[in-house]
């Protein structure tokens, strides 16, 4: 079986894996992740040994690994998240030109810190304050960075 036929035959598998790791509001698109999947298939197909398992399992592992490498590398390059205060006493998080939804109010930062000190988990804090877990994590991460500096 040639490489072109492998790509055609496994298109659905690659797209479904890419969709699993795609999250909205990122600087990479679903097409980027799909392309990573196709490149992974093409570059790793020569390593496949049919005695060690099914082809679909091999492809899944290779594609997942390469997509995760891409996402982790991307996140490392773009991990500078800053907090700045804007009018209306809101905190806005930016990652280049990207703003998160459900921005908490300024006094929520103090409430998050208090809840964390009281032993609440990040998930509990997010649920009780009706904000995303990722925002709570970023607030706490930023506070830790400021303390360490």
Per residue in 30-55, pLDDT (tens digit) is: 899 999 999 999 999 889 888 989 99
> Does one domain contain both 121 and 108?
yes
Domain boundary among 27, 49, 77: 77
Rounded Cα distance between 126 and 137, Å, is 9
By the 8 A CB rule, do 91 and 83 touch? yes
Q: What's the pLDDT tens digit per position in 80-120?
A: 444 443 333 333 444 433 333 344 455 678 888 888 888 88
> Does one domain contain both 137 and 92?
yes
Tell me the β-bridge partners of 85.
91
Tell the burial category of 79 from Cβ atoms under 10 Å away from its Cβ (0-12, 13-18, 19+). Answer: exposed
**Which domain does 68 fall in, by range?**
3-77
Sign of CA dihedral 15, 20, 24, 27: negative
**End-to-end C-alpha distance for the chain, whole angstroms:** 57
Average pLDDT over every residue of 71-78: 74
Q: Whole-prediction pTM value?
A: 0.51
Number of domains in the chain: 2
> Does one domain contain both 62 and 125?
no
> Does one domain contain both 49 and 15?
yes
């Amino acid at each position: 079986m040639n490489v072109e036929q492998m790509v055609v035959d496994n298109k659905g598998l690659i797209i479904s894996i890419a969709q699993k790791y795609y999250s909205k509001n990122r600087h990479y698109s679903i097409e980027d992740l799909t392309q990573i999947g196709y490149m992974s298939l093409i570059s790793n197909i020569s390593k496949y040994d049919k005695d060690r398992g099914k082809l679909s399992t091999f492809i899944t592992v290779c594609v997942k690994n390469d997509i995760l490498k891409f996402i982790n590398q991307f996140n490392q390059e773009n991990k500078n998240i800053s907090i700045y205060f804007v009018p209306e006493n809101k905190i806005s998080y930016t990652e280049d030109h990207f703003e998160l939804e459900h921005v908490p109010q300024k006094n929520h930062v103090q409430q998050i810190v208090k809840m964390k000190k009281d032993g609440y988990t990040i998930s509990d804090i997010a649920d009780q304050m009706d904000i995303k877990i990722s925002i709570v994590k970023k607030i706490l991460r930023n506070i830790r960075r400021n303390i360490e500096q």
